Structure 1
Amino acid sequence: MVAISMYLFAASVALVAVYLKYLYRRRRRDEPPMVPGGLIWGNCKEFGEHAVRFLHKSNKSCGDIFTIRLLHQYLTIVMDPHSYDRFTREKNFDFDPIQKQVNHNVFSFELINPRKMLKEAGKTVRGHYMNNIMQSFSKYLNETFADISTKDILGNLHEIPKGGKWCTSNLRVLTARTVFTSLFKTIFGNPRPEDTFEPMSVFENFEIYHKYFNYMWLGLPSSLFPAATKALKALVKQPCSSDLLSREDLSHYIRFSTEYMLNCNQAEAEIMGHNLVYLHVNYNTFRVSFWAMYFLLEHREAWVALSTEVQAAIDEKKQYCSNDEPVVFNLEDVDSLPILDSIVKETMRTTSGVFMVRAIAEDTEFEMENGQKYYLRKGDKVAMYPPALHKDPEIFEEPEQFKYDRFVDATFYKNGREVKNPVIAFGSLCPGKRLAITQSKWFLMCLVNMFDLELLEGQSTCPDSAYHGHEILPPKNDVEVRFRHKDSFQTLSFE
């Protein structure tokens, strides 16, 4: 009995020591206020249940900057949108450790000299490279639009519905068969018939793996999640680097990054891990496209407004081509459509879950836009959480509502001052955010040009707030839709 008592006493002392060393700390002078939380988990429960609601509540009680604790990690949150530029430019706020944490914890690899690689690789998704990518994406998208009416999900041919008959599908599956498949082929080229690394199987495993992303990012081992482990084993069954490099239609990004990593003598497993990170980033384009399509179907006035705008643009272009030629658009043309631009921005505002996190490299005096100064500790993390800004009722009237024309000729204010960056969907460092937005816009243009599409009666969904931290939130459930090709349309092409 005495031995048991001594054991329990020793265990208690050890637990207290661990708590005092890793979890407990006092607020120092001029540090941001700390949000009270649980003894072990800190603020994990409230943040996990509904991050936006929790941060708005903390904002009211603590002000525009405060510190929360997620397990053993202290995280200072900046809630002032006017301090965005100061946050992104602070040299002591370092993204490299965050990137390494994601790469290592979630995708099991490390990059050698990541800043150099990502700086150079990032050039391959901008400028003239972006035009090349959009041309490939447009080509593959037209192919998938033809396939969804002539093939089932397994790729088997079936009879094309005649006389305006409707096909039915789950919306998420429909978006995967079109947008995700087109993105996949644009990145990796056309898979060979014998490849198991092909769009729909990768999509299904990505869906599973992403459910556990936040847990693994925080450092929980993937072995705790058998479904994630199984999905990852399937995702790393990729063609080897030499096979990929032999493909003429391989993207410039994957070609450059693969050659770079080979020159650094990195292993095939690390190259495959990096390929998954890049696909993970592009996966957000799929999610934006899903939500934009859903909102267009839920708000028929938005579908009508977009269809009218796109048709007017097509009619203007048709003056310069024959009826049997594709109608050609370029980047400037796509960017000139205000309803389309507003729909995509409103979709990202409504469904964004991105967490802009930085590691604090040195003890830092951070000055907010209003002149207030706070001391932030080396070793902590600092973040801005755009979804909390996107749902701020002072910036956006009725922020929970989707309004397709919200961003048409609009300016937004906070504390009487214009908000320069009202929508922050992909963070400040993403080199491909313009490409992602353009791909989503192009998909919507082609969709309303070629198809009639409707939600089946009684079908609805909403973003799943349990996944805040993902760049774009997944839906709580899929919905069923019906679609059919329009009787007459002219194919669109990007140049």
Structure 2
Amino acid sequence: MSPLLLLLLGLLPLLLCLLRGRNRRDGEPPLVKGWIPFIGKALEFGKDAHKFLEEHKKKFGDIFTVQIAGKYMTFIMDPLLYPSIVKHGKQLDFHEFSNKVAPYTFGYSPMNRSFSGLREQVQRSFHLLQGDSLTLLTESMMGNLKLVFRQDHMERDGGWRSGSMYDFCHSVMFEATLLTMYGRPPASRRHGGVDTLRNNFISFDKKFPLLIAQIPIWLLGRTKAVRDKLIHFFLHVSGWSNTSQFIRRRAEIFEQYDTLRDVDKAAHHFAIFWASVGNTVPATFWTLYHLVSHPVALQAVRQEIQDVLRQDGVGWSSDGDVTLGRQQLERLLFLESAIRESLRLSSASMNIRVAQEDFGLRLDGERSVAVRKGDFIALYPQSMHLDPEVYQNPQMFRFDRYMQDGQQKTNFYKNGQKLKYYLMPFGSGSSKCPGRHFALNEIKQFVCLLLLYFDLQLEDGQPRASLDTSRAGLGVLLPNVDVRFRYRLRTQQLD
């Protein structure tokens, strides 16, 4: 018997299983399999996830299971049920998914039993993104943003300069975040070759959705070579100065494990850097774009920044230097509302949990559904963010949507009931982004400096920016095309 025939006979049970798929059992949600074995509904979901889910919600109700690329994903579409999912910490686990996907995507060895305690120590290090450590990070970011702005964008010629807005945001935030988190070479204020590093990062980032889907990297052209270059850059972290407490602590943890290769340590650093930039940059772009597109919002936020400085007796002019500390940033409620509104309109993250056993998932006092071990339970908050019952005119940007009577607004409703979770760009529960407070501060600082020092205009004759849905499920969406804008140094002073 030929080897090929033996192989086919050996694969026959698997092929039959794939062709047959699975059938819905009593108590399970409606099952949507699609007509292509294994692939299921992956192509339709990937084309426009929000549209796909809304159409299936109308047909099957708030809970249904979809076969997507070999996985069975049960979507919970009613935001009133989100708390029931988040609290199932034992039977629904996020880390099983992330611990499998992250090593594959960023190129480091899984944290298996040979690295006992490593995962727990790494998780504990995230407390250094809060409290006093957050204050130090915020101060450092302020200085690095001003450094990049002054050296690259604040020539005193007084004229208008043109640029591409997303690229502008990316270049400034990329380098300032790198300097803040990882520091700089001992003999220099800035890293050499940042443009090359950033181009490699962008090249890798374009393939990120495919890597998360665990497409073999050898099918993705030069992606592995690009990733190797990015990892190699972070081999030198130990020799840099002004490194953040967070990164220093992680480096100390890695040094405790003799069998952890240097390339694995560098890949871990690269993963954290991607997490620091990958969603923060598009969130910064959308905040700036919406503000510049809405002059009333732009003026209100600029006035708020100036008022906070004036209240603290801070004199400022375009020739001077200004620093906004963490407490001042917390008082910028209109700006925070504008950021949250931009995140509402642009984020398309998917909150995933993996069922650890077959069990009945209790949804509320009356309902439960049967789920199987290994199935994904998914929340897709974009559907809530664009729900007209929760948000009036949901496609419209309203910079003060999260303001009420001079305070942050937190009361949003569905079916007459107050929502516990009404804005979820950073995940939920155990999967909630630990760096979210720093990310918000970064965006605030960037916008503050830009609005204080520059006049800003969109160039005429271009269409409005729209969302690139190819990254749906992975965080903040990028613009389909970049936006041209003009900027020049302001001459107005703050009294």
The residue number in structure 1 matching 2:145 is 141
Q: Once the 2 structures are TM-superposed, how far is the Cα of residue 398 of structure 1 from its aligned partner?
A: 2.1
Q: Work out the number of aligned pairs and report it.
A: 474
8 Å CA contact retained: 2:232, 2:263: no
- Report SS of the residue matched to 2:383: helix
8 Å CA contact retained: 2:142, 2:323: no
Q: 2:130 aligns with which of 126, 129, 146?
A: 126
- Report SS of the residue matched to 1:211: helix
CA deviations 1:241-279 (Å, max 9, x no partner) are xx4234331111211112212212211111111112111
8 Å CA contact retained: 1:362, 1:377: yes
> Which of 141-150 and 14-23 deviates more?
14-23
Change (3 A) 1:377 1:183: same
Rounded Cα–Cα distance in structure 1 between residues aligned with 2:400 and 2:23: 47
Rounded Cα–Cα distance in structure 1 between residues aligned with 2:247 and 2:118: 15
Matched, 1:35 2:32: yes
8 Å CA contact retained: 2:309, 2:315: no
Amino acid in the other structure paired with 2:228: K
Amino acid in the other structure paired with 1:93: L
Q: Once the 2 structures are TM-superposed, how far is the Cα of residue 86 of structure 1 from its aligned partner?
A: 2.1
The residue number in structure 2 matching 1:456 is 459
> Which of 405-414 and 192-201 deviates more?
192-201
Q: 2:450 aligns with which of 447, 451, 459?
A: 447
Q: Once the 2 structures are TM-superposed, how far is the Cα of residue 393 of structure 1 from its aligned partner?
A: 2.0
Rounded Cα–Cα distance in structure 1 between residues aligned with 2:316 and 2:454: 21
The residue number in structure 1 matching 2:249 is 256
- Report SS of the residue matched to 1:74: strand
The residue number in structure 1 matching 2:268 is 274
8 Å CA contact retained: 1:317, 1:327: no
Rounded Cα–Cα distance in structure 1 between residues aligned with 2:122 and 2:29: 33
Structure 1 unaligned residues grouped into runs of 5+: 151-159
Rounded Cα–Cα distance in structure 2 between residues aligned with 1:224 and 1:248: 38
The residue number in structure 2 matching 1:427 is 427
Change (3 A) 1:189 1:17: closer
Aligned pairs for 1:54-69 within 5 A:
54-69=52-67
Q: 2:17 aligns with which of 20, 28, 32?
A: 20
Rounded Cα–Cα distance in structure 2 between residues aligned with 1:25 and 1:200: 50
Change (3 A) 1:71 1:486: same
- Taking every aligned residue pair, what percent have the same amino acid on both sides? 26
Rounded Cα–Cα distance in structure 1 between residues aligned with 2:167 and 2:125: 31
CA deviations 1:413-433 (Å, max 9, x no partner) are 111111122110111222111
Aligned pairs for 1:149-164 within 5 A:
149=153, 160-162=155-157, 164=158
8 Å CA contact retained: 1:360, 1:380: yes
Rounded Cα–Cα distance in structure 2 between residues aligned with 1:355 and 1:77: 10
Aligned pairs for 1:193-342 within 5 A:
198-240=193-235, 243-265=236-258, 266-283=260-277, 284-318=279-313, 326-342=321-337
Amino acid in the other structure paired with 1:34: L
Rounded Cα–Cα distance in structure 1 between residues aligned with 2:316 and 2:162: 33
Q: 1:165 aligns with which of 159, 166, 169?
A: 159
Rounded Cα–Cα distance in structure 2 between residues aligned with 1:68 and 1:137: 43
8 Å CA contact retained: 1:144, 1:177: no
The residue number in structure 2 matching 1:81 is 79
Rounded Cα–Cα distance in structure 1 between residues aligned with 2:266 and 2:493: 41
8 Å CA contact retained: 1:169, 1:482: yes
Rounded Cα–Cα distance in structure 2 between residues aligned with 1:244 and 1:405: 41
Rounded Cα–Cα distance in structure 2 between residues aligned with 1:207 and 1:469: 19
8 Å CA contact retained: 2:361, 2:371: yes
Q: Once the 2 structures are TM-superposed, how far is the Cα of residue 321 of structure 1 from its aligned partner?
A: 6.1
CA deviations 1:150-206 (Å, max 9, x no partner) are 5xxxxxxxxx352x3111111122112322211111111124669987543332222
8 Å CA contact retained: 2:336, 2:444: yes
- Report SS of the residue matched to 2:32: coil
Rounded Cα–Cα distance in structure 2 between residues aligned with 1:345 and 1:322: 27
The residue number in structure 1 matching 2:343 is 348
- Report SS of the residue matched to 2:55: helix
- Report SS of the residue matched to 2:403: coil
- Report SS of the residue matched to 1:99: helix
Matched, 1:413 2:413: yes
8 Å CA contact retained: 2:42, 2:68: yes
Matched, 1:180 2:177: no
Rounded Cα–Cα distance in structure 1 between residues aligned with 2:143 and 2:212: 35
CA deviations 1:122-147 (Å, max 9, x no partner) are 11101100000001000001111112
Q: Once the 2 structures are TM-superposed, how far is the Cα of residue 400 of structure 1 from its aligned partner?
A: 2.0
Change (3 A) 1:23 1:341: farther
Change (3 A) 1:315 1:420: same
Amino acid in the other structure paired with 1:278: I
Structure 2 unaligned residues grouped into runs of 5+: none
Amino acid in the other structure paired with 2:459: L
Q: Once the 2 structures are TM-superposed, how far is the Cα of residue 487 of structure 1 from its aligned partner?
A: 1.2
8 Å CA contact retained: 1:22, 1:72: no
8 Å CA contact retained: 2:347, 2:476: yes
CA deviations 1:372-401 (Å, max 9, x no partner) are 101111111111111122112221122222
Amino acid in the other structure paired with 2:331: S
State the TM-score, normalized to the length of structure 2.
0.89
Rounded Cα–Cα distance in structure 1 between residues aligned with 2:16 and 2:222: 32
Q: Once the 2 structures are TM-superposed, how far is the Cα of residue 121 of structure 1 from its aligned partner?
A: 1.0
Rounded Cα–Cα distance in structure 1 between residues aligned with 2:484 and 2:215: 35
- Report SS of the residue matched to 1:403: coil
The residue number in structure 2 matching 1:156 is none
Change (3 A) 1:12 1:351: farther
Rounded Cα–Cα distance in structure 2 between residues aligned with 1:461 and 1:54: 22
The residue number in structure 2 matching 1:475 is 479
Q: Once the 2 structures are TM-superposed, how far is the Cα of residue 343 of structure 1 from its aligned partner?
A: 0.4
Q: Once the 2 structures are TM-superposed, how far is the Cα of residue 11 of structure 1 from its aligned partner?
A: 5.8
The residue number in structure 2 matching 1:106 is 105
- Report SS of the residue matched to 1:375: strand
Rounded Cα–Cα distance in structure 1 between residues aligned with 2:324 and 2:189: 35
The residue number in structure 2 matching 1:154 is none
Change (3 A) 1:102 1:202: farther
Rounded Cα–Cα distance in structure 2 between residues aligned with 1:82 and 1:364: 21
8 Å CA contact retained: 1:197, 1:239: no
